[in-house]
Homo-oligomer: A and B are copies of this chain.
Amino acid sequence: MRTSLFLVALTLALGAAQAQDAAAGRVKAAACAVCHGRNGISMAPNAPHLAGQPAIYLVEQLKHYRSGQRSHEVMGVIAKPLTDTEIDNLAAWYASLQISVQVP
């Protein structure tokens, strides 16, 4: 019983690790850098910073762009071919970047 519980936990953990591969997301994110910056700090005044954003939020937004629920000329085209795994990876990469804020 204990062993099977352990195996279930291990399988779930491996599944999560597979589903969210920040290193793979980093490679994929090269295409995002033009607007969102190499480290997720945006270069364009109408593009948000992605660094440190919660993964759940990023996954949700990319899926909304993919489905058309959130519309944006460029992001619609970019998100269209992304798989769920690629979205998870991209989100994991950007979420892994630590940000700190300085209040004026």
Contact = CB atoms under 8 A, between A and B. Distances in A.
Contact of A101 (B45, B52, B56, B102): B52
Interface residues of A, number: 31
A44 B69 CA distance: 21
Interface string A26-69: 00000000000001111011111101111111001000000001
By secondary structure, the A interface counts as loop
Contacts of A102: 97-100
A96 B101 CA distance: 10
Copies in the complex: 2
Given A42-B54, A70-B70, A99 B60 contact: no
Contacts of A69: 71
**In the A-B complex, the 10 residue pairs with the closest CB atoms:** A98-B102, A45-B56, A51-B101, A45-B54, A99-B99, A99-B101, A46-B56, A39-B101, A46-B57, A48-B57
Interface of A: 22, 39-42, 44-49, 51-57, 60, 69-71, 96-104
30 contacts: A39-B101, A39-B103, A40-B101, A41-B99, A42-B53, A42-B54, A42-B57, A44-B54, A45-B54, A45-B55, A45-B56, A45-B57, A46-B54, A46-B56, A48-B48, A49-B49, A49-B53, A49-B99, A52-B99, A52-B101, A70-B70, A96-B104, A97-B102, A97-B103, A98-B101, A98-B104, A99-B99, A99-B100, A99-B101, A100-B100
